[in-house]
Chain A
Amino acid sequence: MSESEDKKIDRRKFLARGAKAALSIAAASIIAKTLYDKTGPSGEPETGLVSLPDFSVPAKDGQVISVVKGSDRIQTVDKAIDSLGGIERFVKPGDVVVIKPNVAFTTAPGLGATTNPNLVAEVVRLCYTRGQAKTVYVTDNPINDAESCFALSGVGKAAAQAGAKVILPKDRFFKKTTLKGGKLIKNWPILYEPLAKANKIIGIAPVKNHSRAGASMTMKNWYGLLGGRRNVFHQDINLTITELAMLVRPTLVILDGTEVMMTNGPTGGSFSDLRRKDTMIASCDQVAADAFGCTLLDMKIDDLAYLSMAEKAGVGKTDYQSLKPANL
């Protein structure tokens, strides 16, 4: 505005301009007051933590674990679950079930590094037909590329054909959790999205040799729910597996010892790494399942430190024989 125009300003204009100026000053001050932060950022805040409910159901007639021999996974898993009271015992009409197979690697189904797709499909089918589940989700956060793992392991297709919804681990599906009484799982992202919708969770894992942990079975399978830079947990793998078993209290675990990966685990990659053991385990107690599983790998319970650590933490029993496994 030029000087000559400035001189022409009348009272009305002056007042209007003064009012606008006052409003602007007030607005700026209010914004400053509202956003005023005296302390500054506090590092990573532990907010929005989620926690997992107890998904377990009590065993029927004290029958916690069953072990079935046979080479046909469909038959053995049906029988194993029936021995615990049938799938109806675990999945009620209208339930939302998460099935957590081990889909860690981009290997073909026959190589045993991932959960057998037909086994996953059979459990999905049982949940729907006899359990009358509303929805069955199948999910995992694999080590190799997620989409490729679900495709190449055959689990994605088999689960989808059986009617399950396959949930791939998108970044936004992870939420942070802290295990109560835990030392390691603190403020750590887990694959929460499918778990949040579910009221039952069933873990299905193959029996595999594992160089760091000794063996990878149903307890180690929960590692696939972790996100973030989870490989740092290998520094203390036994406590990590113990805490995972404390974190996830499953409805049911199924341990597939039909073909056991004896060497070169957990990736395998060759048929020569596998040995037929023709065993299927279904259990409400993941510690007992894994304790039995380690015998299939010709290991002793003491060889897997996490078993006794989990027992000490009250997750389950290592002395599976005292639980009198059905059919054994």
Chain B
Amino acid sequence: MRIVTARRISQVFFFALFIWLCIVTAVGDKFWQLRHWPVNLFLSLDPLVAIGTILTTQTLYWHLLLALATIILTIILGRFFCSWVCPFGSIHHFVGYLGKRSKPAGQRIKLNRYRKAQGIKYFVLAFLLAGAAFPSISATLQTGLLDPIPLVSRSVNLVLLPIADKPFALLAVTQRLYELAGLIFAVFAAAVLLNLFIPRFYCRFVCPLGALFGVVSRFAIWRIGKNKQACTGCKFCEQHCEGGCEPATTIKIAECVLCFNCRDDCKKMDDCISYQTVASRAGEHTNPDISRRGFILSVASGVLAVPAIRLAGKVGKGWYYKVVRPPGALAEAEFLKRCIKCGQCIKVCPTNVLQPAGIEGGIEGLWTPILNNRIGTSGCQYNCVACGSVCPTSAIRAISLDEKMGKGKFASKGPIKLGTAFVDRNRCLPCSMNKPCIVCEENCPVSPKAIYTAETFNAVRNGRLTVKKAVGSTSLTTGVNTIETAENGLPVDKYGTGDYYCIVEGLSGQMRHPEGEQRWKIRSNTENTILCEGKFETVPAEGAKVIIQVRLQRPLVDIERCIGCGVCEHECPVSGLKAIRISAEGESRSYDRQLLL
């Protein structure tokens, strides 16, 4: 078998595996839903994730140990990952092929020449890692913005799969929605379309992971090179060169992505290129082709950019109340040291409440997971810890249900709070519109409920009427009293819904519901009569005033019980700006956002 055939099989295999692992990142009891599938395989293999979190936290989280294998293999073989494993690389490879396939050989060779700008990716890498490297100043992990594995993970999970599944609804019962999916898609699409301009554009100029492999591959034991000095110089080897590493002349080892196209093409000609342990007979450049000045500038910018961004105060005092993080998320500064914006938690979330953030939590929080209770099928599901269980970097800890609910050995700590529900009394139906509702209380999943109600009876508009004639019931228990009013034009049966009552002014001394006040539930009404249940102790005289009241249950939040799950916000029928909303005050993860004594 030709080695390029083996490479293509490997690419197809890993690409299919990647897509499959994206699909199975879902909660459920079917075989294709989260049942010990290694859903983080590619993220774990990605050494940039490992090195990034090592710099910010000085630890190697166990999920990421697999990256060591990638590093070791790269030291032995060179940048094999780029052309044999990387799913994003395979997309670029294929689209680049589509773009150049009809072009003549001469033009292809021109497209694949080395460009000085290929050094930019090393600056990108230096910039991103420098921003992560000095926790004593302030560190943030931003490699995920451009690291190809998190990038392709979130693009497939949060954009491509939902689009593909829309007509079939096989992967999700309800259409999954993602805020900022458009921006994620724009980055992805731009990266892919640039291949039509220059093949493997992203890999050659942008990819920080490729840059990291480029640096490591200088030690590679096996490498592509010429096995004899004399060659006709036909440059045929460069017509399909993926890395733009110039195998025809002095090969640039750091740029070589090990596609083996040069070797395959040369076989038909001179057969002077091989994968060998000795250096190329035509000489080789092992180091990345970058200037020291550029490197220092990138590092310095990275180091300074983080404190500059932090001046916004979003991590400290200026924290934004809508940045509600998933259960088990670390305190914000620690969270930002680990989150790689891969979107695994967002994909696995069964209710779709987790969303890729915009810059409301600061520029560095872009695409990190936050809860949006308006989107999705529910708030944060009470008995679910899926997000933490898939997080590859433990930015969201893998908590147990007991820990989330504050049961068992976590009983003394209490449940994990994501924030606190606040009632917006200006928008709440029973609080400001005289309409019964109380959906929030009904749906609160905590037992005893964290939302409770205060019952009030409020006079309805134009509800103070004059008695013309009243007839009391004779039966003590189930009697029906009739009140005929002087006013004519009550909305027929409006008050017969079980929510309306009437009182007689002055009959019990006071109008506003003191204890023991006589109040009769209205059973039905016509334009000028009201039928109500119960028994008049004194039949109201002609000319007395009768007041129609609506019974309201107004929501109150028991702040000590509320866990901030957002189910109330999700269910609130005031669907634009919800009348009950979760704010991050009181969230368990941060000491400085506590509200209670």
Contacts and interface: CB of A to CB of B under 8 A. Distances in A.
A105 to B, nearest CB: 7
A172 B170 CA distance: 12
Contacts of A270: 447-448
Contact of A144 (B377, B442, B448): B377
Interface stretch (A34-42, A47-55, A60-68, A302-310): A302-310
A212 B28 contact: no
B553 interface: yes
Nearest to B496: A309
A143 B441 contact: no
Contacts of A178: none
Chain B interface size, under 10 / 10 to 19 / 20 to 34 / 35 or more: 35 or more
Contact of A212 (B169, B436, B444): B436
A305 B436 contact: no
Nearest to A239: B497
A151 B448 contact: no
Interface in B348-406: 350-352, 376-378, 381-384
A302 B533 contact: yes
A138 B436 CA distance: 32
A168 to B, nearest CB: 4
A266 B442 contact: yes
B553 A231 contact: no
B498 A151 contact: no
Interface residues of A, number: 44
Nearest to A106: B381
A168 B30 CA distance: 14
A32 interface: no
Nearest to A240: B497
B174 A146 contact: yes
Contacts of A229: 573, 575
B246 to A, nearest CB: 46
Contact of B445 (A171, A172, A232, A269): A269
Contact of A211 (B376, B442, B448, B571): B442
Contacts of A235: 429, 435-437, 573
Contacts of B69: none
B378 A143 contact: yes
B175 interface: yes
Contact of A171 (B175, B352, B383, B497): B175
A268 interface: yes
Interface string A136-159: 000000011111100110000100
Contact of B378 (A144, A171, A211, A305): A144
B418 interface: no
B173 interface: yes
Nearest to A113: B445
B29 interface: yes
B378 A269 contact: no
Nearest to A168: B173
B474 interface: no
A276 interface: no
A53 B333 CA distance: 59
A290 interface: no
Contact of B553 (A107, A152, A157, A212): A212
Contacts of B29: 151, 157
A264 interface: yes
A234 B447 contact: no
B355 to A, nearest CB: 15
A144 B381 contact: yes
A76 interface: no
B351 A238 contact: no
A146 B169 contact: no
B567 interface: yes
A271 to B, nearest CB: 9
A231 B567 CA distance: 13
A273 interface: yes
B125 interface: no
Contact of A147 (B173, B449, B497, B571): B173
A237 interface: yes
Contacts of A165: none
A267 interface: yes
B350 to A, nearest CB: 5
Interface string B432-470: 000111110111111111000100000000000000000
B446 A147 contact: no
A317 to B, nearest CB: 16
B519 to A, nearest CB: 14
| Closest 10 pairs (CB-CB, A-B) | A305-B498, A269-B447, A231-B573, A270-B447, A238-B498, A145-B377, A145-B351, A144-B378, A232-B573, A168-B173
8 contacts: A144-B381, A151-B29, A229-B575, A231-B571, A238-B498, A238-B499, A270-B448, A309-B497
